[in-house]
Amino acid sequence: MVKKRKKKQTRQRNQKIIKKMTFKEVLKKYPEVTGVFFKHGMACVGCPLAQQETIEQGTLAHGLDVEKFIEELNKKVKNEKK
């Protein structure tokens, strides 16, 4: 069990965006990911109430897999940095 926890923590450290970040934090730091939100029907990125919502809360509300969504966001950030 300890090994799984360490693996998960290592994976999260390698990511720029994590599920506990708010929409506001992510979009301020990485505006290039806006299209990923729209692609998945998350047009609420401009909503003042959603700005305080975490990525995890938003993906669950939209019926998305949070881990896959985070992976896609981080892939977009990584590709933009190249």
Give tens-digit pLDDT for 17-57: 999 999 999 999 999 999 999 999 988 777 887 789 999 99
Beta pairing partners, 66:
none
Q: What is the pTM of this model?
A: 0.77
Residues 6+ apart with CB under 8 A from 66: 19, 55, 56, 59, 60
CATH number for the region 2-81 comes to 1.10.3910.10
Confidence of residue 10 (pLDDT cuts 50, 70, 90): very low
- Mean pLDDT, range 72-77, rounded to an integer: 95
- Mean pLDDT score across all residues of the chain: 83
